[in-house]
Homo-oligomer: A and B are copies of this chain.
Amino acid sequence: MKITVLGVGGMGSRFAIMLHQAGNDITLVDGWQANVDAIRKDGIQANFNGKQIAEKMPVYTPAEIDKSGIKADLIVVFLKSNQLESMFEQVQALIHPDTYVLCLLNGIGHEDVLEKFVAKDHLILGITMWTAGMTGPGHVELVGDGEVELQNFEPAGKDFALQVVDVFKGAGLNPKYSDNVKYSIWRKACVNGTLNVLCALLDCNIGELGKTREAPELLHTIIDEFAAVAKHEGVDLDTAEVYDHVAATFTADIADHYPSMHQDLVQHHRVTEVDFIDGAVARKGKKYGIATPYCTLLTQLVHAKEQLVGAK
Protein backbone atom coordinates (compact mmCIF):
# COMPACT_ATOMS: atom_id res chain seq x y z
CA MET A 1 0.00 0.00 0.00
CA LYS A 2 1.55 3.28 -1.17
CA ILE A 3 0.70 5.81 1.49
CA THR A 4 0.96 9.60 1.21
CA VAL A 5 0.81 11.63 4.41
CA LEU A 6 -0.64 15.02 3.51
CA GLY A 7 0.37 17.61 6.09
CA VAL A 8 3.54 16.81 8.02
CA GLY A 9 3.07 18.67 11.29
CA GLY A 10 3.18 16.90 14.61
CA MET A 11 0.50 14.32 13.97
CA GLY A 12 1.42 13.72 10.32
CA SER A 13 5.01 13.13 11.42
CA ARG A 14 3.89 10.61 14.02
CA PHE A 15 1.85 8.56 11.58
CA ALA A 16 4.54 8.79 8.89
CA ILE A 17 7.32 7.67 11.24
CA MET A 18 5.37 4.80 12.77
CA LEU A 19 4.13 3.56 9.39
CA HIS A 20 7.59 3.91 7.82
CA GLN A 21 9.31 2.12 10.68
CA ALA A 22 6.91 -0.78 10.04
CA GLY A 23 8.17 -1.02 6.46
CA ASN A 24 5.44 0.80 4.56
CA ASP A 25 6.00 2.87 1.42
CA ILE A 26 5.49 6.43 2.68
CA THR A 27 5.59 9.74 0.83
CA LEU A 28 5.24 13.09 2.58
CA VAL A 29 3.60 16.25 1.23
CA ASP A 30 3.67 19.51 3.11
CA GLY A 31 2.98 23.13 2.21
CA TRP A 32 5.56 24.73 4.50
CA GLN A 33 8.80 25.07 2.49
CA ALA A 34 11.08 25.28 5.55
CA ASN A 35 9.59 22.06 6.88
CA VAL A 36 10.05 20.28 3.54
CA ASP A 37 13.66 21.52 3.31
CA ALA A 38 14.50 20.33 6.82
CA ILE A 39 12.95 16.89 6.31
CA ARG A 40 14.62 16.51 2.90
CA LYS A 41 18.02 17.26 4.47
CA ASP A 42 17.87 15.33 7.76
CA GLY A 43 14.58 13.41 7.78
CA ILE A 44 11.95 13.99 10.43
CA GLN A 45 13.81 14.44 13.69
CA ALA A 46 11.75 13.28 16.61
CA ASN A 47 11.88 12.88 20.32
CA PHE A 48 10.12 9.54 20.18
CA ASN A 49 9.19 8.68 23.76
CA GLY A 50 12.53 9.97 24.98
CA LYS A 51 14.66 8.51 22.16
CA GLN A 52 16.04 10.92 19.55
CA ILE A 53 15.44 9.53 16.05
CA ALA A 54 15.65 10.75 12.45
CA GLU A 55 13.40 9.09 9.86
CA LYS A 56 14.09 9.75 6.18
CA MET A 57 11.26 9.63 3.66
CA PRO A 58 10.64 11.25 0.28
CA VAL A 59 9.01 14.63 0.78
CA TYR A 60 7.39 17.09 -1.64
CA THR A 61 5.72 20.45 -1.67
CA PRO A 62 2.24 20.51 -3.27
CA ALA A 63 3.72 22.35 -6.28
CA GLU A 64 6.10 19.45 -6.93
CA ILE A 65 3.39 16.78 -7.05
CA ASP A 66 2.38 17.22 -10.69
CA LYS A 67 5.78 16.35 -12.15
CA SER A 68 6.71 13.84 -9.40
CA GLY A 69 4.49 11.18 -10.99
CA ILE A 70 3.57 9.87 -7.54
CA LYS A 71 0.26 8.12 -7.04
CA ALA A 72 -1.15 7.08 -3.69
CA ASP A 73 -3.28 4.12 -2.70
CA LEU A 74 -4.06 5.87 0.56
CA ILE A 75 -3.80 9.54 1.42
CA VAL A 76 -3.80 10.21 5.17
CA VAL A 77 -4.81 13.81 5.81
CA PHE A 78 -3.36 15.87 8.68
CA LEU A 79 -4.05 19.43 7.53
CA LYS A 80 -5.76 22.32 9.22
CA SER A 81 -9.43 22.01 8.29
CA ASN A 82 -9.41 25.32 6.47
CA GLN A 83 -6.43 24.22 4.31
CA LEU A 84 -8.18 21.06 3.15
CA GLU A 85 -9.75 22.37 -0.03
CA SER A 86 -6.84 24.46 -1.30
CA MET A 87 -4.35 21.64 -0.63
CA PHE A 88 -6.41 19.00 -2.41
CA GLU A 89 -6.77 21.32 -5.38
CA GLN A 90 -2.97 21.34 -5.66
CA VAL A 91 -2.32 17.61 -5.24
CA GLN A 92 -5.03 16.12 -7.45
CA ALA A 93 -2.34 14.32 -9.46
CA LEU A 94 -1.83 12.00 -6.46
CA ILE A 95 -5.30 10.62 -6.86
CA HIS A 96 -6.16 7.72 -9.19
CA PRO A 97 -9.54 5.93 -9.36
CA ASP A 98 -8.51 3.50 -6.60
CA THR A 99 -7.07 6.09 -4.22
CA TYR A 100 -8.65 6.19 -0.75
CA VAL A 101 -8.53 9.19 1.56
CA LEU A 102 -8.43 8.78 5.34
CA CYS A 103 -9.38 11.89 7.31
CA LEU A 104 -8.71 11.92 11.06
CA LEU A 105 -9.19 15.65 11.56
CA ASN A 106 -11.16 17.12 14.45
CA GLY A 107 -14.51 18.59 13.51
CA ILE A 108 -17.33 17.77 11.16
CA GLY A 109 -18.20 18.22 7.54
CA HIS A 110 -14.78 17.38 6.08
CA GLU A 111 -16.46 14.82 3.86
CA ASP A 112 -18.32 17.68 2.16
CA VAL A 113 -14.95 19.03 0.99
CA LEU A 114 -13.25 15.71 0.30
CA GLU A 115 -16.02 14.33 -1.89
CA LYS A 116 -15.15 17.01 -4.43
CA PHE A 117 -11.84 15.19 -4.98
CA VAL A 118 -12.52 11.51 -4.29
CA ALA A 119 -15.64 9.32 -4.58
CA LYS A 120 -17.64 8.95 -1.35
CA ASP A 121 -17.02 5.20 -1.25
CA HIS A 122 -13.28 5.92 -1.24
CA LEU A 123 -13.54 8.03 1.89
CA ILE A 124 -12.52 6.72 5.30
CA LEU A 125 -13.27 8.84 8.37
CA GLY A 126 -11.98 8.54 11.88
CA ILE A 127 -10.64 10.11 15.02
CA THR A 128 -7.38 9.67 16.85
CA MET A 129 -6.40 10.03 20.48
CA TRP A 130 -2.68 10.11 19.65
CA THR A 131 -0.95 13.38 20.47
CA ALA A 132 2.01 15.10 18.85
CA GLY A 133 3.74 18.46 18.95
CA MET A 134 5.89 20.37 16.51
CA THR A 135 8.90 22.29 17.81
CA GLY A 136 10.25 23.62 14.51
CA PRO A 137 10.74 22.73 10.84
CA GLY A 138 11.34 18.96 10.68
CA HIS A 139 11.33 18.61 14.46
CA VAL A 140 8.57 16.94 16.47
CA GLU A 141 7.81 15.65 19.96
CA LEU A 142 6.07 12.28 20.03
CA VAL A 143 5.35 11.20 23.55
CA GLY A 144 2.72 8.88 25.03
CA ASP A 145 0.20 6.40 23.69
CA GLY A 146 -2.91 6.69 21.60
CA GLU A 147 -5.50 5.01 19.44
CA VAL A 148 -7.21 5.36 16.10
CA GLU A 149 -10.83 4.64 15.31
CA LEU A 150 -11.92 4.55 11.68
CA GLN A 151 -14.64 3.46 9.31
CA ASN A 152 -15.42 3.64 5.61
CA PHE A 153 -17.90 6.43 4.82
CA GLU A 154 -19.92 4.18 2.47
CA PRO A 155 -20.44 0.39 2.79
CA ALA A 156 -18.42 -0.29 -0.39
CA GLY A 157 -15.27 1.03 1.27
CA LYS A 158 -15.25 -1.54 4.06
CA ASP A 159 -12.69 -3.99 2.59
CA PHE A 160 -10.13 -1.27 2.10
CA ALA A 161 -10.82 0.26 5.53
CA LEU A 162 -10.10 -3.15 7.08
CA GLN A 163 -6.81 -3.29 5.14
CA VAL A 164 -5.92 0.11 6.58
CA VAL A 165 -6.66 -1.22 10.06
CA ASP A 166 -4.25 -4.09 9.40
CA VAL A 167 -1.52 -1.75 8.16
CA PHE A 168 -1.98 0.54 11.16
CA LYS A 169 -1.95 -2.45 13.49
CA GLY A 170 1.39 -3.48 12.09
CA ALA A 171 2.70 0.02 12.84
CA GLY A 172 1.56 -0.01 16.46
CA LEU A 173 -1.03 2.72 15.92
CA ASN A 174 -3.69 0.83 17.90
CA PRO A 175 -6.42 1.09 15.28
CA LYS A 176 -9.97 -0.03 15.81
CA TYR A 177 -12.49 -0.61 13.06
CA SER A 178 -15.62 1.18 14.17
CA ASP A 179 -19.21 0.30 13.36
CA ASN A 180 -20.26 3.89 14.06
CA VAL A 181 -17.35 6.24 13.65
CA LYS A 182 -19.72 9.11 12.91
CA TYR A 183 -20.87 8.89 16.52
CA SER A 184 -17.28 9.19 17.74
CA ILE A 185 -16.62 12.11 15.40
CA TRP A 186 -19.68 14.02 16.63
CA ARG A 187 -18.88 13.19 20.26
CA LYS A 188 -15.35 14.52 19.86
CA ALA A 189 -16.64 17.58 17.99
CA CYS A 190 -18.75 18.41 21.06
CA VAL A 191 -15.53 18.70 23.07
CA ASN A 192 -14.02 21.12 20.56
CA GLY A 193 -17.31 22.92 19.98
CA THR A 194 -17.57 23.84 23.63
CA LEU A 195 -14.06 24.09 25.11
CA ASN A 196 -12.18 25.44 22.10
CA VAL A 197 -14.65 28.11 21.16
CA LEU A 198 -15.47 29.30 24.68
CA CYS A 199 -11.84 29.37 25.86
CA ALA A 200 -10.85 31.27 22.72
CA LEU A 201 -13.62 33.86 23.11
CA LEU A 202 -13.23 34.28 26.86
CA ASP A 203 -9.42 34.06 26.77
CA CYS A 204 -9.11 31.40 29.44
CA ASN A 205 -7.96 27.82 29.90
CA ILE A 206 -10.19 24.78 30.33
CA GLY A 207 -10.13 24.77 34.12
CA GLU A 208 -10.90 28.49 34.36
CA LEU A 209 -13.87 28.06 32.03
CA GLY A 210 -15.09 25.20 34.19
CA LYS A 211 -15.06 27.38 37.31
CA THR A 212 -17.49 29.96 35.86
CA ARG A 213 -21.10 29.65 36.98
CA GLU A 214 -22.21 29.76 33.33
CA ALA A 215 -20.17 26.76 32.14
CA PRO A 216 -22.77 24.02 32.75
CA GLU A 217 -25.58 25.81 30.93
CA LEU A 218 -23.28 26.87 28.09
CA LEU A 219 -22.13 23.28 27.60
CA HIS A 220 -25.63 21.83 27.79
CA THR A 221 -27.05 24.29 25.27
CA ILE A 222 -24.22 23.89 22.78
CA ILE A 223 -24.22 20.08 23.05
CA ASP A 224 -28.00 20.06 22.55
CA GLU A 225 -27.57 21.95 19.27
CA PHE A 226 -24.85 19.53 18.12
CA ALA A 227 -27.15 16.62 19.02
CA ALA A 228 -30.14 18.05 17.14
CA VAL A 229 -28.10 18.39 13.96
CA ALA A 230 -26.30 15.05 14.44
CA LYS A 231 -29.66 13.33 14.77
CA HIS A 232 -30.58 14.62 11.33
CA GLU A 233 -27.44 12.87 10.05
CA GLY A 234 -28.37 9.59 11.71
CA VAL A 235 -26.24 10.02 14.84
CA ASP A 236 -28.15 9.82 18.11
CA LEU A 237 -25.83 11.43 20.66
CA ASP A 238 -26.25 10.54 24.32
CA THR A 239 -26.16 14.19 25.45
CA ALA A 240 -25.89 13.41 29.16
CA GLU A 241 -22.87 11.19 28.57
CA VAL A 242 -21.29 13.73 26.21
CA TYR A 243 -21.82 16.49 28.79
CA ASP A 244 -20.11 14.43 31.48
CA HIS A 245 -17.29 13.62 29.04
CA VAL A 246 -16.70 17.34 28.33
CA ALA A 247 -17.20 18.53 31.91
CA ALA A 248 -14.72 15.94 33.15
CA THR A 249 -11.95 17.94 31.49
CA PHE A 250 -12.58 20.84 33.91
CA THR A 251 -10.85 18.94 36.70
CA ALA A 252 -8.59 16.66 34.65
CA ASP A 253 -4.88 16.98 33.92
CA ILE A 254 -5.65 19.07 30.85
CA ALA A 255 -7.53 21.71 32.90
CA ASP A 256 -4.58 24.11 32.64
CA HIS A 257 -4.41 23.61 28.86
CA TYR A 258 -5.38 26.36 26.40
CA PRO A 259 -7.23 24.62 23.53
CA SER A 260 -5.89 24.89 20.00
CA MET A 261 -8.41 27.55 19.02
CA HIS A 262 -7.17 29.75 21.86
CA GLN A 263 -3.65 29.21 20.57
CA ASP A 264 -4.74 30.10 17.03
CA LEU A 265 -6.92 33.12 17.81
CA VAL A 266 -5.52 34.67 20.98
CA GLN A 267 -1.88 33.62 20.98
CA HIS A 268 -0.96 33.49 17.28
CA HIS A 269 -3.73 35.56 15.60
CA ARG A 270 -4.42 32.82 13.08
CA VAL A 271 -7.68 32.01 11.35
CA THR A 272 -9.43 29.28 13.36
CA GLU A 273 -11.13 26.01 12.41
CA VAL A 274 -14.50 27.17 13.79
CA ASP A 275 -16.21 26.62 10.42
CA PHE A 276 -15.63 22.88 10.86
CA ILE A 277 -16.93 22.78 14.43
CA ASP A 278 -19.69 25.15 15.64
CA GLY A 279 -19.77 26.74 12.20
CA ALA A 280 -20.49 23.36 10.59
CA VAL A 281 -23.36 22.77 13.01
CA ALA A 282 -24.75 26.23 12.24
CA ARG A 283 -24.43 25.63 8.49
CA LYS A 284 -25.97 22.16 8.62
CA GLY A 285 -28.68 23.37 11.02
CA LYS A 286 -29.66 26.06 8.55
CA LYS A 287 -29.77 23.47 5.75
CA TYR A 288 -31.95 21.11 7.78
CA GLY A 289 -34.17 23.83 9.30
CA ILE A 290 -32.87 23.22 12.84
CA ALA A 291 -32.31 26.26 15.07
CA THR A 292 -28.69 26.52 16.22
CA PRO A 293 -28.44 30.06 17.62
CA TYR A 294 -25.60 29.35 20.04
CA CYS A 295 -23.41 27.73 17.39
CA THR A 296 -24.28 30.53 14.96
CA LEU A 297 -23.52 33.37 17.38
CA LEU A 298 -20.32 31.72 18.66
CA THR A 299 -19.12 31.28 15.08
CA GLN A 300 -19.93 34.91 14.27
CA LEU A 301 -18.06 36.11 17.36
CA VAL A 302 -14.99 34.01 16.53
CA HIS A 303 -14.98 35.29 12.95
CA ALA A 304 -15.40 38.88 14.13
CA LYS A 305 -12.51 38.39 16.55
CA GLU A 306 -10.36 36.89 13.76
CA GLN A 307 -10.83 40.11 11.80
CA LEU A 308 -10.20 42.31 14.84
CA VAL A 309 -6.84 40.64 15.54
CA GLY A 310 -5.92 40.63 11.85
CA ALA A 311 -5.82 36.82 11.67
CA LYS A 312 -4.44 35.24 8.49
Contacts and interface: CB of A to CB of B under 8 A. Distances in A.
Interface stretch (A53-61, A110-118, A299-307): A299-307
A219 to B, nearest CB: 11
A215 B297 CA distance: 11
Interface of A: 198, 201-204, 208-209, 211-215, 217-218, 221, 291, 293-294, 297-298, 300-301, 303-305, 307-308
Nearest to A308: B204
Contacts of A211: 307
Contacts of A297: 218, 221, 293-294, 297-298
A196 to B, nearest CB: 15
Q: How many copies does the complex hold?
A: 2
Given A201-B301, A218-B297, 14 more contacts: A201-B201, A202-B304, A202-B308, A212-B303, A212-B304, A212-B307, A213-B303, A213-B307, A214-B300, A217-B300, A218-B300, A293-B297, A294-B297, A297-B298
Contact of A293 (B203, B294, B305, B307): B294
Contacts of A203: 308
A116 to B, nearest CB: 25
Contact of A215 (B201, B214, B304): B304
Given A293-B294, A297-B297, A308 B208 contact: yes
28 contacts: A198-B304, A201-B201, A201-B301, A202-B301, A202-B305, A202-B308, A208-B308, A211-B307, A212-B303, A212-B304, A212-B307, A212-B308, A213-B303, A213-B304, A213-B307, A214-B301, A214-B303, A214-B304, A215-B304, A217-B300, A218-B300, A221-B297, A291-B291, A291-B293, A293-B293, A293-B294, A297-B297, A297-B298
Contacts of A218: 297, 300, 304
Contacts of A301: 201-202, 214
* Nearest 3 pairs of A and B residues by beta carbon: A293-B293, A212-B304, A214-B300
Contacts of A305: 202
Contacts of A214: 300-301, 303-304
